Structure 1
């Protein structure tokens, strides 16, 4: 047990150093994003900043994916704008607590297993869409600015990509931020700073319950928002956990992650923060900077708290071009560049699913809609593929007609199944389903119709070869008294 604790928190001494430095990079990059998400939600910047502190620290303790970063996010912020506008920020805190409780319930109900139905094409589309959105989010910092901004961004990217060729002792994004901050402050360059994004906190947050009436009416107001936030938060967290799993070639406990996300959001609301979830951009920063264990996530939250509470005035002078350079690096590193040549190599259906996922996410700025579109399209393509794996062979022998069915009989294949049977004008008919499988009541209903139709034509019908699962389905749902179906269970 101690070994597991040590590996999840510290690893080797060298790993602990990398985790600490990676956490510092993430903390600096979190500040402008948390402020921006607060603006989206229509709340004070402190609401997003304290949420990021609380969520990062708590998820490092409770989460199921070491090295993944969770904080206030745009995906959740956009959902609560109407709630804040119509009812105020206290209702946001109440909705966030309920969001956490729903996520905890989802963990106990093992809803994390739904990730098994998300195809690789959807995950690739999700990643590419986020990379595009991360880059698009930097565009406002590139419009209407002086040449100093472009020069600093170029210098920042040069440091980020060239420094690792000389040394990897210190994460290159951290060096870029420190160097550009020193140059900006030292020469008083005319560039935007973190302080221009919004007012930073001047005191530590306090622990308090939301100041709302605990009534049925309040529940009716917040429940729709809480349910949506919980679903979107878990969806993005589960997908990000899968991506970090792939990047680090390790596994994660996604059920524990559901529970941890719930606890983290409850903690965020209690310190006056908004809801959040896993962040793919910050997680990529953490992993590429060397962060692997829970320590990196904890340091991100703790360092953010220290920066805000102790070094607030200095943090406010950090130039935005330095952080823009880091986020451009994240965008480039997040995008799956192999997916472009794979468009020709992969099956067309997989490529379509990926492209649709990207387009829906980018045009709606809604991750949930994009992933839902991709999953639904994947399901339709899969059903169509299975539908084609179906055949009916007709043969005659001694006055008996035999139909040999092979493949899967379900809602998508019942039309072909039904049309394969001809009018037999009173001849004996045997339907052999020994190499077929009935999946649903649509398949059973189709068999009912076929047998009934043949009997109306005066045919004696016998169905043989059910496997055990199909026989059980027919036993329960077929209309034996009308169709005369005879069970002949033949084990495969």
Structure 2
């Protein structure tokens, strides 16, 4: 099996192939993913309104657990911006302990999703909804940076500008070191040497100084608690599943290998429960870090495991230095993440794409931004996709009339609840005037009870007005459905 990326070799032993096809390359790829994780995990933590330790502990635990339980080797999962945005309102309203409780419940939902083999449902999320989801995520990430910029001093704006120059300019010179990491190093050193009046990571909250410890969420075990966390937990679960499934599909394409989507759903749930019990925020697949891991040769579960373990080691060892990172550097990184997340091609293609598809994408973005809820936007997008698809399929029904003394109606297309009225309206008893009628269903398929009842209604109406009715050409599936209802259609 070939791949467009280096480091891919075939190994006869299944365990070696799944975990570490090439151990040195797995470790290097995991390390690169770790350096890409550090700035974003800290940035996502302050988006969610929690201490950086909460995001870092989560990323360590999630990577550790999902390396064993996930369904997609080489995929990096950690505290993510999409989940942080969904979790932020709960944290602001009720505190971080309720976030941990919601993470446990979200994990249970994701495990149930996997056990019921509902990963297949992601196939019904249309491309327009996925694009809308990504674009809405980009808008929300960008808007979350505004409180740090509006009313900020000149030094903050200047540092953000310098950070963006480094992030976008350095890759033109070299890609050996991730430019966001260089941005953090340079801006931290500049802020220290120049004694600039800037807010730092230490002002955001506590950084870890050791391994996370196990503990149950400190919330009342009551129906009131369940009421408070139910909707946020469901939103976290759905957003996490959607982003993880999208990330898994990206890795499938990059490596030309399959993955178990249902196992990934259950594995993510187990990882999020573990993260919540160890004082971390729930997370999901990280598209940017996963692509970095794969591009540098990560193919097995070892790269995922090492990315999380190396992250915690670096955070504990570098705590004094990381605490001095200016928030302006994180803002610059999140602006870059927002810009790179947004699908700019979709904006240019709005007028070229079918109007209904564009409407679905725009509606997904609009609902998400207005409600500040990614799950709500996806739900509306999926609903609109279903409605528009039903509308288009219903219009494909065609009834052709021929003959003079004996009338023949040839029905072609899909007959279901949305097109059944069109079938009934095609038979005008005033034009038939008691003539014998032959209904040819050779090109039609009946899908539901509404469709069968519509055919029965046509037959009864024609017979009531003196016509004899013959129904021919019905396929086996439609005939089986009609026979179950025992309507006497012949």
Q: CA RMSD in A?
A: 3.2
Which residue does 2:377 correspond to in 1? Answer: 370
1:22 aligns with 2:33: yes
- SS of the residue 2:442 aligns to: strand
Measure how far apart 1:371 and its partner are: 1.0
Give runs of aligned pairs for residues 183-194 of structure 1, distance below 5 A. Answer: 183-194=190-201
**Cα distance between partner residues in 1 of 2:23 and 2:366:** 42
Number of residue pairs the alignment of both structures matches? 476
Extract unaligned runs of 5+ from structure 2: 1-11
Q: Select which of 465, 474, 479 maps to 1:471.
A: 479
Q: Tell me if structure 2 keeps the 8 A contact 1:92–1:274.
A: yes
**Cα distance between partner residues in 1 of 2:84 and 2:333:** 23
Q: Tell me if structure 1 keeps the 8 A contact 2:85–2:140.
A: no
Q: Select which of 175, 185, 189 maps to 1:178.
A: 185
Q: Tell me if structure 1 keeps the 8 A contact 2:78–2:285.
A: yes
Instruction: Say if 1:264 and 1:328 are closer, same or farther in 2 by CA, change over 3 A.
Output: same
**Cα distance between partner residues in 1 of 2:107 and 2:383:** 27
Which residue does 1:314 correspond to in 2? Answer: 321
**Cα distance between partner residues in 2 of 1:121 and 1:255:** 23
Which residue does 2:160 correspond to in 1? Answer: 153
Instruction: Say if 1:94 and 1:343 are closer, same or farther in 2 by CA, change over 3 A.
Output: closer
Q: Tell me if structure 2 keeps the 8 A contact 1:61–1:294.
A: yes
Which residue does 1:357 correspond to in 2? Answer: 364
**Cα distance between partner residues in 1 of 2:155 and 2:257:** 42
**Cα distance between partner residues in 1 of 2:406 and 2:220:** 76
Measure how far apart 1:264 and its partner are: 0.4
Measure how far apart 1:267 and its partner are: 0.8
- SS of the residue 2:441 aligns to: strand
Q: Select which of 415, 434, 447 maps to 1:426.
A: 434
Which residue does 1:416 correspond to in 2? Answer: 422
Q: TM-score, normalised by structure 2?
A: 0.86
Which residue does 2:355 correspond to in 1? Answer: 348
Measure how far apart 1:393 and its partner are: 1.2
Give runs of aligned pairs for residues 29-108 of structure 1, distance below 5 A. Answer: 29-39=40-50, 46-65=53-72, 66-71=74-79, 75=83, 78=86, 93-108=100-115
Q: Tell me if structure 1 keeps the 8 A contact 2:406–2:438.
A: yes
**Cα distance between partner residues in 1 of 2:82 and 2:417:** 39
Q: Tell me if structure 2 keeps the 8 A contact 1:73–1:277.
A: no
Q: Tell me if structure 1 keeps the 8 A contact 2:87–2:99.
A: no
Instruction: Say if 1:363 and 1:2 are closer, same or farther in 2 by CA, change over 3 A.
Output: farther
Deviations 1:304-362 (A, max 9, x none): 42244333222110122222222222222221121122112211111111111111112
Q: Tell me if structure 2 keeps the 8 A contact 1:26–1:285.
A: no
Q: Tell me if structure 2 keeps the 8 A contact 1:56–1:71.
A: no
Q: Select which of 422, 430, 444 maps to 2:452.
A: 444
Q: Tell me if structure 1 keeps the 8 A contact 2:44–2:79.
A: no
- SS of the residue 2:269 aligns to: helix
- SS of the residue 2:144 aligns to: helix
- SS of the residue 2:344 aligns to: coil
Which residue does 2:8 correspond to in 1? Answer: none
Q: Tell me if structure 2 keeps the 8 A contact 1:38–1:45.
A: no
Which residue does 1:166 correspond to in 2? Answer: 173
Deviations 1:385-420 (A, max 9, x none): 1112111111225x3221111111111111111011
Measure how far apart 1:8 and its partner are: 5.5
Deviations 1:88-146 (A, max 9, x none): 76565454334323321211211110011111111111111112222222222222333
**Cα distance between partner residues in 1 of 2:427 and 2:294:** 59
- SS of the residue 1:338 aligns to: helix
Q: Tell me if structure 2 keeps the 8 A contact 1:417–1:446.
A: yes
Instruction: Say if 1:225 and 1:171 are closer, same or farther in 2 by CA, change over 3 A.
Output: closer
Give runs of aligned pairs for residues 139-150 of structure 1, distance below 5 A. Answer: 139-150=146-157
- After TM superposition, the structure 1 stretch with the greater mean CA deviation from structure 2, 19-28 or 449-458, is 19-28
Q: Tell me if structure 2 keeps the 8 A contact 1:30–1:282.
A: no
**Cα distance between partner residues in 2 of 1:132 and 1:249:** 31
**Cα distance between partner residues in 1 of 2:178 and 2:53:** 28
Q: Tell me if structure 1 keeps the 8 A contact 2:368–2:376.
A: yes
- After TM superposition, the structure 1 stretch with the greater mean CA deviation from structure 2, 92-101 or 28-37, is 92-101
Extract unaligned runs of 5+ from structure 1: 487-492
**Cα distance between partner residues in 2 of 1:291 and 1:218:** 41
Give runs of aligned pairs for residues 92-491 of structure 1, distance below 5 A. Answer: 93-210=100-217, 226-242=233-249, 251-280=258-287, 294-295=301-302, 297-397=304-404, 399-423=405-429, 424-480=432-488, 485-486=489-490
Measure how far apart 1:217 and its partner are: 8.4
Q: Tell me if structure 2 keeps the 8 A contact 1:177–1:322.
A: yes
Deviations 1:403-447 (A, max 9, x none): 111111111111111011021333221111011111111110100
Instruction: Say if 1:96 and 1:446 are closer, same or farther in 2 by CA, change over 3 A.
Output: same
